Amino acid sequence: MAGIFTPKQRMLNAYRGIASDRYAVAPEFWYYFPAKKLGLSMVEFEREVPLWQSLQQVFKMYDCEGWGAVFPEIRRARVKTASSFVKNDDNNYRDTITYLHNGNEFTSVTAFNTFEPSSVLKHIADRSSLGQAIDMLLCESELLPAEAINAYNKVGEDYLLEIWTGCPFFDFIAGIIGFEDAVLYFFDEEEHILEEYLRRYLDYQLKWIKKCIESTPFESYVIGCSFSCNSLIGAQMWRRWDKPYIEAVARLLHSHGKLLHIHFHGRSIETIDDFAQIGIDCVCPFERPPGGDIESFAQLKDVRIKLSDKVTFNGNVHTVETLIRGTKQDVRREIDEITEAFKGSSRLIIGTGDQVGGETKEENILEMIEYGKSQKPCVSRHELST
């Protein structure tokens, strides 16, 4: 454990359960906070600055650890696209993209706003055209890794840059037809059809992930979460349709010595045993209520026991009640709870319960970083009040 570690090394050590000189402190700087600190509108931030680059600037600005994702380019030779980006007024824009594949035309419309992240106004398909859309999205494609490798090399040791491996199966379907229609579709559709779509999605995803493993130097891969979580679809549906995808990706990555990180919004208590059983290397953000369900010291200790030092815990500092509305003392209290619950374990990253909001108090984010840095692995420095 002697020596000085880089931010990336501290993150990778935590993923592997190896102690560093101190715990990694990794606020989730994703959209709002970097845009604010860099003085960019959300439109400029999303369309003009690569996410990996903006995160690098902000992690260096705050001298802390963190993770981010790069989205490898995939080219579908048989799909033709055309786009139109139109300004509606001073703050609102629309991006319309048309796709042509095998004589079928699909259109998506995305709204961009100066102050908020983009949102989908029209998905590319509905339930009647879902099969054709899946044929298009899972058609033969080519991985173009050059830009991802360039980002990896430029980020270097500044933070942990991971490859985004898409989302679980429910999110794949919801991304095509929308969340509400996807919920109804999963309840209405015959199971053998869903199973066939899952098989095809798995085959497609595993092929290009394997290509990434073979052609890029990334140590860690991340599976995202839009709707695929206990809070929105429930643990039963997640286990039936999304856990198999995560398990298959984990097996592939681990067989090549790579790491898997899962971003899992909202409530997580019902599936913590599943995380450990799969052997995911890191899960975040283990949110506190009302968004999540891990608030008390007793619950944190229970999570630690269930993870059984097989999975790294990242998150739990409340982004709203603590970082936006709270005080520096509130920040310290939550960090004390987290580090005390994980005393004796190196599988801890002091992180936030999802992304840091633009309204976050500067003194609170600085307190989280500086106080978090004072915490040493396997050492209890502060006693909790009971």
pLDDT in tens, the chain (386 residues): 456 899 999 999 999 999 999 999 999 999 999 999 999 999 999 999 999 999 999 999 999 999 999 999 999 989 999 999 999 999 999 999 999 999 999 999 999 999 999 999 999 999 999 999 999 999 999 999 999 999 999 999 999 999 999 899 999 999 999 999 999 999 999 999 999 999 999 999 999 999 999 999 999 999 999 999 999 999 999 999 999 999 999 999 999 999 999 999 999 999 999 999 999 999 999 999 999 999 999 999 999 999 999 999 999 999 999 999 999 999 999 999 999 999 999 999 999 999 999 999 999 999 999 999 999 875 443 333 32
Strand residue runs (E) in 123-172 = 142-144, 160-164
282-284 and 259-263: which strand pairing?
parallel
DSSP strand E in the chain: where? Answer: 24-26, 67-70, 73-75, 80-87, 92-101, 104-113, 119-122, 142-144, 160-164, 220-223, 259-263, 282-284, 312-317, 348-352
**Domain covering 7-76+141-373 in this structure, CATH number:** 3.20.20.210
Please, what is the Cα angle at 118 between 353 and 102, to 5 degrees? Answer: 120
Query: What is the model's pLDDT at position 4?
Result: 84
Sort strands 119-122 and 104-113 into parallel, antiparallel or unpaired. antiparallel
Do 72 and 144 touch, CB atoms closer than 8 A? yes
CB 355 within 8 A of CB 29: yes
pTM, two decimal places:
0.94
Domain ranges (residues) in the chain: 7-76+141-373, 77-126
CB 154 within 8 A of CB 60: no
